[in-house]
Structure 1
Amino acid sequence: MASVPANHVYVRHLSPEDGPGPIRLPDPDPDGRAAASQRWWPPVMLQPSWADSHEFDVFHLHFGFDARSEADLRELVATLKRRRKPLVFTIHDLRNPHHADRAAHDRHLDVLVPAADALITLTRGAADEIQRRWGRTAHVLPHPHVVPLDVMRRAATMRNVRRSGSRARQFRVGLHVKSLRAAMDPQPLVPVLLDAIRDLPDAVLQVNGHHDVLHPDGARYDAGLASMLREHADQGRIDLRVHDYLGDDELWAYLASLDVSVLPYRFGTHSGWLEACRDLGTAVIAPSCGYYADQAPVLDYGHDEHHLDADSLAAAVQEAYDGRVAPGPSVEQRRRQRTELASAHARIYQSLIDGAR
């Protein structure tokens, strides 16, 4: 089958952990080599010529279509219809987190959602919106684990050791500004978070960001944000860490070191970051926009394109500090969920293949 893209962690974790699963074609390299390794964007499989010249049973689209024009997608859909190749579309984003304006993404969805032979999304709230906007029913299948199961197990052991220790430890609130997607608005959150932790013993606000946003020579330098963070760091009010892109092992270690991660989004739909935190036992404070609170048990606060509810953010920090958070999933729960997701997807694929015949 053609999964677009095949090498995304979400897609990889839809296959059974052990045993047979769908045979996914490797992501073609954009430079024309046989298959992509690290560089597979934009997905070549979205080219109508690729869909017309390769053999597969099902075309399952996840990500990458924002790199194609509306006309390209119409041609792709027409090619799949002509070849009687079923189109499955998992709608991760009803609002693209990289786009300040939603118009282009909406036009893409207006092509893909009506054309799909089966729709999947991650939450009931997103499915309800799909029903309202297009009159289509989507299967609701939850997000699989993001962190490898063996890493999850080690992180759980280390967290239990820390909790059982007699030595006092810091309570770390993490705010990650990384490379500032359009959906992120972290600057107004910083003073609220500093006020929230001021009277909490051993509480620390840790802010991580990439050089391209926080260094003057960065491609996406944000002078206002960088200046504010440097000022707070110089005064010892925040633990500021500036670095480049973190590899997986570094990212898992960083997230596991936090007690709670605050998502600074003002719009969006779902979040893989949220799932990675849960895998590692790190609590999540998520905004009221999108369907983050539908995705998993999180602490929430009011935040969208129009307002920030400072009181609810402070209250969420207090709840996290007091330990009033739902426990993250265990390794066995994630393993069972992965098996169930693999079976659910297999049923959808088979029903479409049978129908195409």
Structure 2
Amino acid sequence: MLRVASVPASHVYVRHLSDPSVADMSVADVARLADPVPTDGRKVPGGWWPPLMLEPGWVNENHDRFDVFHIHFGFDAVDADALTAVMQELKAHAKPLVCTIHDLRNPHQRDPEPHILRQDLLVAAADALITLTPGAAQEIRRRWDRDAHVLPHPHVLDRARLEAPRPATDTFAVGVHLKSIRANMDPLPILEALTETVSGLPAAELVVNIHDEVFVPDNHWYAPHIGEAIRSFGQHEHVRIVEHPYFCEDELWDYLSSLAVSVLPYRFGTHSGWLEACYDLGTAVVAPSCGFYAQQRPCREFTFTEDVFDAGSLHTAVERAYSDWLGGIPAPRATWRQRHRERAMLAEAHRGVYEQVLR
């Protein structure tokens, strides 16, 4: 059995890299170490933040427990010197490093330089690279002259949700989920364009969700000016503004299932777990042209980058989704059989990468 220290192990992406046909993990080809639990309770739901495996000293103390070290997420919580120390510890104990490049640009940071610096360190130290799309692999080759294995994102939802029928509705709901307005989101031009577009579509509604912490003083995400600007769109009869705390998973999947279309308001980014969840549920996605969303799963695309916004392309993408909805044409949706087969492939492919770097 190959023992892998995955950073983090409890993230849904990593959990769904295992073969779903193997129920007993004691006989699995690959076993992943559980995320270390912070002693002071510093963690987000899921338990993997900050990633203690990336603290200097952890590899030295635990190197006999794993064969391969695999980094996915969380290295943005570690400064460059600490990350360098971790790479040195891996080298000292002859432990190979695999790195999956999910985000060529960190969606939580307006300044790209800190992320670039850390990725430079990781890519230089990595024995193998993985990414999700051919476009990302091409960009990795351009930046670092390295080849990356291209392996798709696994399913996000469980089988019951994947196979559940979509709720019946007479409303064409176009959703923009702003969460707490992270760095790569630029909602106001998107909402202005969608308000106009949706006003011309019978039985259509624009649903704008935002976390209530945006309006709470002393909260890290407090942003009253943009919050009030978003609230102002609620004056339109066909626009509904919904303020709420973080959804639990069931609330999130129910919300996504209620939408005909989810519009991603990102000025920059690379790949999206949100897009995968929509694909699992059969909710159409209109994605920006930045990043490689259109290579990741079937979706419509509009022109939206840090420098350019073409409102006409967004209008066209939503109108085409509306035409499909009127015609009873369902959005692309994964089946459990497809996801099961894909996940088995991913498990085998990752095992192959681990065996390769161990050789």
Judge which range, 138-147 or 12-21, deviates more. 12-21
CA deviations over 1:146-194 (Å, ceiling 9, x no partner):
111211111xx235xx3xxxxx700000001111110011111111001
2:292 is matched with which residue? Answer: 291
Give the residue type in structure 2 aligned to 1:57: D
- 1:350 equivalent to 2:323? Answer no
1:165 is matched with which residue? Answer: none
Give the residue type in structure 1 aligned to 2:225: G
1:338 is matched with which residue? Answer: 343
Aligned partners of 1:89 and 1:112 also within 8 Å = yes
Q: Against the structure 1 CA distance between its residues 325 and 270, is the aligned structure 2 distance closer, same or farther, given a 3 Å change threshold?
A: farther
Of 27, 39, 45, 2:35 maps to 27
CA drift at 1:142: 0.5
2:52 is matched with which residue? Answer: 44
Aligned partners of 1:29 and 1:37 also within 8 Å = no
Q: 1:112 is paired with a residue of what secondary structure?
A: helix
Aligned partners of 1:26 and 1:36 also within 8 Å = no
Unaligned runs of 5+ residues in structure 1 are 163-167
CA drift at 1:131: 0.3
CA drift at 1:320: 0.7
Unaligned runs of 5+ residues in structure 2 are 23-27
Give the residue type in structure 2 aligned to 1:26: A
How many residue pairs match? The answer is 344
Distance 1:206 1:32 in 2: 39
1:254 is matched with which residue? Answer: 255
CA deviations over 1:212-267 (Å, ceiling 9, x no partner):
12456754233333223322214433111100111111111110110000000000
Q: 1:144 is paired with a residue of what secondary structure?
A: coil
Distance 1:198 1:37 in 2: 38
Of 77, 83, 88, 1:67 maps to 77
2:272 is matched with which residue? Answer: 271
Distance 2:88 2:288 in 1: 38
1:2 is matched with which residue? Answer: 5
Aligned partners of 1:214 and 1:225 also within 8 Å = no
1:94 is matched with which residue? Answer: 104
Q: Against the structure 1 CA distance between its residues 216 and 309, is the aligned structure 2 distance closer, same or farther, given a 3 Å change threshold?
A: farther
Percent sequence identity over aligned pairs: 50
Give the residue type in structure 2 aligned to 1:11: V
Aligned partners of 1:15 and 1:21 also within 8 Å = no
CA deviations over 1:296-328 (Å, ceiling 9, x no partner):
111000001112110000000001101177512
Aligned partners of 2:303 and 2:309 also within 8 Å = yes
Distance 1:59 1:90 in 2: 11
CA deviations over 1:31-88 (Å, ceiling 9, x no partner):
269x998433110001231111112011010000011111111111111111111100
- TM-score by length of structure 1 reads 0.92
The residue correspondences of 1:135-154 to structure 2 (distance < 5 A) are: 135-154=145-164
